[in-house]
A and B are shown apart, each in its own frame.
Chain A
Amino acid sequence: MFSGWNLVAHGLYLFLNICSLEVSGGLVQSCGHIIPESPVLALGSNFTALCILNESCLDFGNIYANQIIWKTKNRLVPKEQYREINRTVSSVTFNDTTLLATPLTCNILADGQIEQNIYGITVTLGLPPEKPKNLSCIVHQVSKLRYPMTCTWNPGRHTFLDTHFRLKYRWPREGFPDCIPKDVNNSCTITDVQFFVNLEIWVEAANALGKAESDRLVFDPIEIVKPLSPHNLSVNSGILPTVLKLSWENRISAAVMKLKFNIRYRIIGETNWMQVPPEDTASPRTSFSVQGLRPYTEYVFSICCMKEDGVGYWSDWSEEKSGVTTEDKPSKGPPIWRIIDASHSPAFWTVHLMWKALEPLETNGVILRYEVTVRAKSPLSHPPEKYNVNTTSLTLKLPNGTYEVTVIAHNKAGASPSSVLLIPARNSKAPVKNIRTLPKDGKLWVGWTAPNSYVLKYVIEWCLVSNSSDCVIEWQNEPGNVQGTYLKGDIKPFKCYLITVYPLYADGQGNGQSVKAYLQQDRPSKGPTVQTKKVGKAEAVLTWNHLTVDEQNGFIRSYTIFYKTVDGNETAVTVDPSKTEYTLSSLASDTLYTVRMMAYTDEGGRSGPDFTFTTQKFGKGEIEAIVVPVCLAFLLIVLLGVLFCFNKRDLIKKHIWPNVPDPSKSNIAQWSPQVPAKHNFSSKDQMYPEGSFTDVSVVEIEADDKKSFSEQDLKPFDLLKKEKSTSEGHSSGIGGSSCMSSPRQSVSDSDEGETTQNTSSTVQYSTVVLNGYKHQTPSVQVFSRSESTQPLLDSEERSEDHAGGNDSTTQRHQYFKQNCGQDETNTARPRFERAKQITPANEEDLVGFAQLQISGQNSQPLGLGLEKNIEEATLSDVIQASTEGQTVRPETVEENPASADEMPKSYLPQTVRQGGYMPQ
């Protein structure tokens, strides 16, 4: 081994010496070099490089092989991998080139320290080519004479090196230039091949690390031809309506290749292809008649071909060509059905005959007309009637009976078989049973149980149930041996369909059996709107309307009522879908409830709007139980009151309408002088010893004060006015009465009016009660005697109220003003002033007299009348004057208790003394 390397090193040395001699004339001379120069190494292999120093450098720089260090990409190679072959050659060995980085440099340590590069090489790592695999070829026919062959193969692993592939091929005695792939490494195309001569073909892959060849294939290129598809395809309709003849041209010579064909066809508009049986087209040809086609149908054809023996490839499908078969008679009669309307007249039917246009499969051409024949069955005996129509419906008005209706469709080729429908007087045959529906595959399936009798066929009738549109009937026929079918129509989801199945017998029809169905259900589009029908204390009656069919979107399975108080939990109640009313019970009284309602289908529910109501505070009858007794009690009280009033009617009457004595019957003269003995006052005798004087009352009416009286105050005067109107002319006035009464003025308190009345009617005394104003109790009662039965006026009674006013000092100064003999000049003065004029003269005498003063607008004439025309004026005049809208106000009624005993002594009216009014 060593000797081998040594030989190599020597060889190299000699070679390098020669080279160095050649370049010794140059400026730079390398001190050494590495062999091999730029090697290509297989990944994973071992590698040894030699660094050979020039002899000249040995002498010049004392450089020897033991000073060489190796580096890979500036990385020091471990010295274990070095080997000093001789003093000028050092080798380095790499056991695995996978780790070998490039460049590999040979360096030397000058003087043991200074590193100096001697030489470097670039190492190329890679893999030898793999054997190409899966070589396969195909000859594509591109024209009648050109047959390029394309071969493909699997080039194997990546080699990391420049690898060349060559497709090699040859005849047994002749070779051809290699086919060199362009831009690819796995396929190549030979421009022209020769058929019927075996070709040997293989792939050679080569790179710096070696060569590899694929397995060799030997074949006749005719066996791998993919021919061009036939062209100029034409389709011609034949004599028969079910045949179309195809013709084409082959683009490969029969001398080269005998072809077999494959013909596919489809009805235009459809996607599925049908195929002519391959055995029918397995021989060379340029035409073929396709049979078993539908009449009057447009077909699309396409054709392909391959070598007759099946070796090679099928061509692509040719361009599509279409053709139409000729017409044939309609294959069947149109399905027929009817709608009988017997509502207009019981004796006649309006029969709407309708039939379906035949399917294209069945028409076999263009339907030109329909021939409808109506034959009446016994007992009717009409001749058959024929109608030729172009539409698919016919409306007839027929007498009630049994008819046989036939419909025949005509096209250019002829007439269809007839369709027969028996229209019976009534559907009296057995119906189907157990009708049911099932949504399936996006369609609605209807099933039923057949009746026991033999059924010719079934008619399935359906219509969309909607609020917004009428039920437009659609229908279809099904043979009598089926018990279920899909509805052949545009069945929409979420719509309600009413489906009816009629069995048709040979001699009549069965009753239709109906069912409602949905293709697909959804939640209702809205919820029911609930409202209260009646609200009680603890219950509420809710009502709602059923959702319309359009709103339901499915079968309403249940309703759920949700109700809650403002702060309470929601309570749900499920209600049967047939109900439209529900009573909520156990509600709290006088509480606001919110209620809503959900309608549920199989797919879910939807809630209606919220509705609020408030329960009542009282239950039914509770108010009645309270009100009725109260009313009864009230009525009882009223009744008792009425009875009481009735019993006391006299008293009340007297109170309301007091008896006003007739002044004409009054006789002052009779009693005044004769009854002083009855008077309690002993001083009376002293006052009227001769009995020539009577009491004189002064009534002064001030017009200004009228306004100060209220209506109530004036009422008594109104009464007086009435009384006066009845007794005008002979009623006596107060003034008169007063003048004729005793000197002690009789003024009765209103509280004691009744007593006063009674007293005035029975006793000739009037009690002057001096009530204190506002609980001011008068100290002394003064009694005056009067023979008059006339009650005291309210004004007179109230005068105490006014008299008992605020001014106590004024109360104490009672005035009794005697009209008789009063000076005219004093009348115009104010009351106080007049009283003062009186008071100095009669201050003591006037104590104990009450002064009754009537103020009013018209009081002055009255006063004047009283004062000026004493002789002419009568009491009635005074009363009259006072009742004419004037307020009679007893101004002051005051008694001086201290002078009560002295009153008779001091009383001596000046007017009397001066010759005033004298009782007669």
Chain B
Amino acid sequence: MRCNARPLGVLAAVAKGLLILCTVPTNASRSSQASYLQQTHSLVRHMAEDAQELFAFYESNQSLNVNNICQSNKWVEWLPQWDVADLQAPSALQELYGAMEHMHQALQTILQHQRDLNAPGAKLLQRLTSTHLKVRGLLNNIEALLRAHGVVPVHITLPEKPVVTKVFQQKLEGCKVLWSYSRFMSKLNADLEAKGFRDCREKRRQRRGSRRGPRANKKVRRS
């Protein structure tokens, strides 16, 4: 749905990048890519934890922890609910990149709202700032991964959102975003963990296969 909304040029660029990434992977790019992957994986894990803490803190701080009012809200539409955990897939990276750009803007909005509600240096502001920094960091890592794949990230144009003037609505909007974000990050982290296990298993299997391979060849030759 969202992809359909993107301009064709962007898609072409992503495809071009992916093509380059697939065709000329160098050793340096591989090592830096692995490093970025590892960092991104760690960062996601970190952000998942942070998102949960932030939501809990926000909920209590904003006195919204009654009747699961935040949790009963709808999932924000710009956070994908499907599996984006394949960080080696540029499309998934691009999806994730777009989601984080949305999150970046949403956090800016929440920060703006909360700056009006809290004194400078308030803990909520610190936490929001810290989470915002993490989101920005993830954007950097995804971009780096995309660039490592030879893909120039496509900056999405965020739609204009209606201005919420009511404070409660602001709080509720923030709560909704943060809850969705924490769920998203938790899921992303879980998917990455699972994928990591799978990859690890696959690697082991490949290693075993590579070890058995020569023996099998020998056997074949003997036979």
Binding site for B on A (CB under 8 A): 145, 171-174, 192, 194-198, 220, 222, 253, 255-256
Q: How far is the CA of A172 from the CA of B136 in the complex (A)?
A: 11
**A197 and B46 in contact, given A145-B127, A192-B130, A192-B133 (Cβ under 8 angstroms):** no
The reply to whether B127 and A196 contact each other, CB–CB distance below 8 Å, is no
Contact A197 B49 (CB under 8 A): no
How near does chain A come to B65, taking the closest CB pair, in angstroms? 20
Would you list which residues of chain B between 122 and 142 have a CB under 8 Å from chain A?
A: 126-127, 129-130, 133-134, 136-141
Is B43 an interface residue when CB atoms closer than 8 A count as contact?
A: yes
Give complex CA distance A256, B48 in Å. 11
The answer to the question of B59 belonging to the interface, with a C-beta cut-off of 8 Å to chain A, is no
B143 touches A172 (CB 8 A): yes
Report chain B residues within 8 Å CB of A220.
39
Min distance, Cβ B91 to any Cβ of chain A, angstroms: 20
The reply to whether B45 and A145 contact each other, CB–CB distance below 8 Å, is no
Complex Cα distance, B126 from A197, in Å, reads 19
Q: Which of A194, A222, A253 contacts B49 (CB 8 A)?
A: A253
Given known A-B contacts A220-B39, A255-B45, A256-B46, A194 and B139 have beta carbons under 8 A apart: no
Which residues in A have their C-beta under 8 angstroms from that of B50? 255
Q: Are B130 and A196 in contact (CB under 8 A)?
A: no
From residue A224, how far is it (CB to closest CB) to chain B in Å? Answer: 14
Q: Is the CB of A255 within 8 A of B141?
A: no
Residue B42 at the chain A interface, CB threshold 8 Å: yes
Do A173 and B46 have beta carbons less than 8 Å apart?
no
Residues of A within 8 A of B42 (CB): 195-196, 222
Residues of B that sit less than 8 Å from A by CB: 39-40, 42-43, 45-46, 48-50, 126-127, 129-130, 133-134, 136-141, 143-144, 147
Evaluate contact between B49 and A196: CB separation under 8 angstroms: no
**Do B48 and A194 touch across chains, with their CB atoms under 8 A apart?**
no
Task: Name the contact of A196 in the complex, choosing from B40, B139, B143, B147 (C-beta under 8 A).
Answer: B40
Cβ of B140 and Cβ of A174 under 8 Å apart? Answer: yes
- 23 pairs, CB–CB < 8 Å, chain A vs chain B: A145-B126, A145-B130, A171-B137, A171-B140, A172-B140, A172-B147, A173-B143, A173-B144, A174-B139, A194-B134, A194-B137, A195-B46, A196-B42, A196-B43, A196-B46, A197-B39, A197-B43, A197-B138, A197-B141, A198-B144, A253-B46, A255-B45, A256-B46
Q: How many angstroms between the C-alpha atoms of A222 and B134 in the bound complex?
A: 13
Distance of B129 from chain A, by nearest CB (Å): 8
Rank and list the top 10 A-B pairs by shortest CB-CB distance, nearest first. Answer: A196-B43, A197-B137, A255-B49, A171-B140, A194-B137, A196-B39, A196-B42, A194-B133, A255-B45, A255-B46
- Cβ contacts under 8 Å, A195 to chain B: 42-43, 46, 137
Closest approach, in angstroms, between the C-beta of B142 and any C-beta of chain A? 10
Q: Could you say which of B45, B127, B147 has the most chain A C-beta atoms within 10 Å of its C-beta?
A: B45
- Distance in Å from the Cβ of A539 to the closest Cβ of chain B? 106
Q: Which residues of chain A come closer than 8 Å to B137, judged between CB atoms?
A: 171, 194-197
Complex interface: chain B residues within 8 A of A174 (CB): 136, 139-140
Q: Are A198 and B39 in contact (CB under 8 A)?
A: yes
B36, closest chain A residue (CB): A198
| B residues in contact with A197, CB < 8 Å | 39, 43, 137-138, 140-141
Number of A-B contacts (CB under 8 A): 55
A173 to B136, CA, bound (A): 9
Residues of B within 8 A of A253 (CB): 46, 49
Task: State the CA gap A196–B147 with chains docked (Å).
Answer: 17
Q: Given A174-B136, A255-B46, A255-B48, are A196 and B141 neighbors across the interface (CB < 8 Å)?
A: yes
For the complex, what is the distance from the CA of A885 to the CA of B141, rounded to whole Å? 167
The smallest beta-carbon distance between A733 and chain B, in angstroms, is: 166
- Nearest-neighbour CB distance to chain B for A721, whole angstroms, equals 155
Q: Which residues of A contact B43 (CB under 8 A)?
A: 195-197
Which of B129, B133, B139 meets A173, CB within 8 Å? B139
Complex CA gap A171/B141 in Å reads 9
Q: How far is the CA of A196 from the CA of B140 in the complex (A)?
A: 10
Shortest distance between the CB of B68 and any CB in chain A (Å): 25
Chain A residue, CB-CB nearest to B139:
A173
Taking CB as reference atom, which chain A residue is nearest B38? A196
A residues less than 8 Å from B39 (CB atoms): 196-198, 220
- A198–B133 Cα gap in the complex (Å)? 13
> How distant is the Cα of A682 from the Cα of B45 in the complex, in angstroms?
193
Extra contacts besides A174-B140, A253-B46 (11): CB < 8 Å: A145-B127, A171-B140, A173-B143, A194-B133, A194-B136, A196-B39, A196-B43, A196-B137, A197-B137, A198-B140, A222-B42
Q: How far is the CA of A145 from the CA of B123 in the complex (A)?
A: 11
In the complex, chain A residues whose CB is within 8 Å of the CB of B144: 172-173, 198
A171: chain B residues at CB < 8 Å are 136-137, 140
Complex interface: chain B residues within 8 A of A255 (CB): 45-46, 48-50
CB distance from B92 to the nearest CB of A (A): 18
Within 8 Å CB of B134, what residues of A?
A: 194
In the bound complex, what is the Cα–Cα distance between A198 and B43 (angstroms)?
A: 11
Residue of A nearest to B45 (CB): A255
CA distance A255 to B140 in the complex (A): 19
Q: What is the CA–CA distance of A198 and B37 in the complex, to the nearest angstrom? A: 12
| Among A145, A173, A256, contact of B140 (Cβ-Cβ < 8 Å) | A173
**Residues of the A chain whose Cβ atoms lie less than 8 Å from the Cβ of B126:** 145
| CB-nearest residue of chain A to B137 | A197
* Nearest opposing residue in chain A for B132, CB measure: A194
B contact residues around A196 at 8 Å (CB): 39-40, 42-43, 46, 137, 141
* Docked CA distance A18–B49 (Å): 69
Q: Which of B126, B129, B133 has the most chain A CB within a 10 Å cutoff?
A: B133
State in angstroms the CA–CA spacing of A145 and B46 once bound together: 11
- Report how far A196 CA is from B42 CA in the complex, Å: 7
Provide the bound-state CA to CA distance between A171 and B43, in Å.
14
**Chain B nearest CB: distance from A894 CB in Å?**
164
Distance in angstroms from B188 CB to nearest chain A CB is: 13
Inter-chain CA distance A113–B131, complex, in Å, is 79
B-chain residues with CB within 8 Å of residue A173 when the two chains form the complex: 139-140, 143-144
Measured CB to CB, the nearest residue on chain A to B189 is A255
Shortest C-beta distance, A196 to chain B (Å), equals 4
Q: Which residue of B lies closest to A197 (CB)?
A: B137
A192–B141 Cα distance when bound, in Å, is: 18
Report the minimal beta-carbon distance from B156 to chain A, rounded to whole angstroms. 15
A5 to chain B, nearest CB (A): 52
Q: When chains A and B are docked, how far (Å) is the Cα of A4 from the Cα of B218?
A: 85
Question: How many whole Å from A281's CB to the nearest CB in chain B?
Answer: 22
What residues of A have a CB within 8 angstroms of the CB of B127 in the complex?
Answer: 145
For A222, the closest partner residue in chain B by CB is: B42
Report chain A residues within 8 Å CB of B129: 192
With A and B bound together, what is the CA distance between A222 and B42 in angstroms?
10
Tell which of A174, A195, A197 has the most Cβ of chain B within 10 Å.
A197
Measured CA separation A198–B36 after assembly (Å)? 9
* CB of B155 to closest CB in A, whole Å: 10
Q: How far is the CA of A196 from the CA of B142 in the complex (A)?
A: 12
Q: Looking across the interface, which residue of chain B has its beta carbon closest to that of A146?
A: B126
Give complex CA distance A195, B134 in Å.
Answer: 8
| Complex CA distance for A174 and B138, rounded to whole angstroms | 12
CB distance from A323 to the nearest CB of B (A): 33
Contacts of B133 on A, CB cut-off 8 Å?
A: 192, 194
CA distance A195 to B138 in the complex (A): 10
- Return chain B residues, CB-CB under 8 Å to A198: 39, 140, 144
Q: How far is the CA of A253 from the CA of B43 in the complex (A)?
A: 12
Q: Which residues of A contact B141 (CB under 8 A)?
A: 196-197
Nearest B residue to A171, CB-CB? B140
A253 vs B52: C-alpha distance when bound (angstroms): 13
A196 to B48, CA, bound (A): 13
Contacts of B140 in A (CB 8 A): 171-174, 197-198
Expressed in whole angstroms, the minimum distance between the Cβ of A857 and any Cβ of chain B is 153
Residues of chain A with a CB closer than 8 A to B136's CB: 171, 174, 194
Q: What CA separation (Å) do A253 and B134 show in the bound complex? A: 15
By beta carbon, the residue of chain B nearest A220 is: B39
| Complex: chain A residue closest to B39, CB-CB | A196
Residue of A nearest to B42 (CB): A196
Residue among A194, A195, A220, A222 with the highest chain B CB neighbour number at 10 A: A194
The distance in angstroms between the C-alpha atoms of A253 and B141, with both chains bound, is 21
Docked CA distance A674–B42 (Å):
192
